[in-house]
Amino acid sequence: MPASLLALAAGAFGIGTTEFIIMGLLTQVSHDLQISIPTAGTLISGYALGVAVGAPVLTLASRRWPRKQLLLVLMGIFIAGNAAAAWAPSYGWLMAARLLTSLTHGTFFGVGAVVATQLVPPERKASAIAFMFSGLTLATLLGVPAGAWIGQHFGWRMAFAAVALVGVAALGILAVFVPRNVATAGAHSLAQELAVLRIPQLWLGLGITVVGFAGVFTLYTYIEPLLTQVTGMGDRWVAITLLLFGAGLAIGNHAGGRLADRHGVLRALAGALLVLLAVLLAGRWAFAGTPLAMAYVLLLGIAAFVGVAPMQMRVLQAAGHAGSNLASSLNIAAFNLGNALGAWAGGAVIAQGMGLTSIAWAAAALTTLGLLLVLLSHRLPAGRNAAPQPMKTAC
């Protein structure tokens, strides 16, 4: 893999850290800004909304920009947003800073994924996307725990300041290593970009991402109460178990890219969702004891991310070159919609009084819908550049 992919992964690490770091700082933020925990929690949903809106809008608005210049500008906005968060005197200011930062998320990952595929031979495109997304998995494994530690010892503002410094480092790496001659979408008109929205395979790909990935967050959103209330873990073991989840993400992300390159995107995607479905179903019984729960959370992390690179590659295949930037950014928005849908579905199950472990059924149901969409995608005509693939799972 070229050094320029490492630069993209560095940017992904910073953006991934700022997305999830607030989850470990909610109590501190609520106390310092004198707001309730639920109100502080809207800083998470506000960020997701910003990603969903900002991804297609910024991608279209910047379609004529050179890709390297765009990535550098996005990282500059990221730095400014986190610096503003560190100085936020009120909840409204902090929400505005989070929204500003979130606008860069979808476009950076979307355009970055397209750039990644242009830096490697055709047979390694999915692996290149997975390599870039490894920055996101490392953010979950290392960045978020480090941010929580900084917040505990130096305050939540210093945690955001540290993320801004990560952005400065990523900006420097991007400036040095990303080549200037990566293709730009400037040759395509707005009509050509929007034409991708008429491709049924694109909408199927986005639907696969939303409902297939929603199964992960249906369960993972409530992993802490599952571990403490069902398994009976203490805080120390919960922290260790969540680190195992991050390690699983890294393993699954790497495996997903390799499987898609070796066996084809649809095969890898079908196999990934089958594995995820089996793992989610097992969640009904996996929290009975500490060793079992720890092993299960590691396996959940692997299954959660083995389908990410194939999902991203699928929408790129459907869109073809002219609409690849918009399609890629839309898929990042789809991931965030899946996060929101999963969290809502799990909460609805709990609100019905069905018990924490029952959310495994809802998680499996959503992923089953994603698998059915994969089968439907196989039966319909391919997108602009994609050829139909025989359906044989890679597992």
Query: pLDDT (tens digit, 9 = 90+) per residue, 325-335?
Result: 788 788 888 88
What span, in angstroms and rounded, lies between the C-alpha atoms of 102 and 339?
15
pLDDT score, position 183: 55
What span, in angstroms and rounded, lies between the C-alpha atoms of 167 and 201?
35
Q: What is the mean pLDDT of residues 250-258?
A: 85
**High-pLDDT (> 70) share of the chain, %:** 91
DSSP characters over 338-376 = HHHHHHHHHHHHHHTT--GGGHHHHHHHHHHHHHHHHHH
Token pair listed for 12: 């992904």
Kindly indicate the confidence band of residue 362, based on its pLDDT and cuts at 50, 70 and 90: very high
The structure tokens 């809008």 sit at 57
Q: What is the mean pLDDT of residues 261-273?
A: 85
Residue 277 has pLDDT above 90, yes or no: yes
Name, in order, each residue with C-beta under 8 angstroms of 379's C-beta and a sequence gap of 6 or more. none
What span, in angstroms and rounded, lies between the C-alpha atoms of 339 and 211?
9
What span, in angstroms and rounded, lies between the C-alpha atoms of 271 and 384?
24
**High-pLDDT (> 90) share of the chain, %:** 25
What span, in angstroms and rounded, lies between the C-alpha atoms of 4 and 363?
37
Q: Are 136 and 11 in contact (CB under 8 A)?
A: no
Amino acid at 293: A
Q: What is the mean pLDDT of residues 90-118?
A: 88
Query: Domains in the chain, please, with CATH?
Result: 1-186 (1.20.1250.20), 188-395 (1.20.1250.20)
pLDDT score, position 385: 45
- Which runs of consecutive H residues, i.e. helices, occur in 139-186? 144-154, 156-177
pLDDT score, position 184: 55
Q: Are 342 and 363 in contact (CB under 8 A)?
A: yes
Residue 394 has pLDDT above 70, yes or no: no
pLDDT score, position 38: 64
What span, in angstroms and rounded, lies between the C-alpha atoms of 16 and 166?
11
Angle at 136 between CA 132 and CA 137, to 5 degrees: 105
Q: What is the pLDDT of residues 27-54, one digit of tens each?
A: 788 889 998 866 776 787 788 888 888 8
Kindly indicate the confidence band of residue 92, based on its pLDDT and cuts at 50, 70 and 90: very high
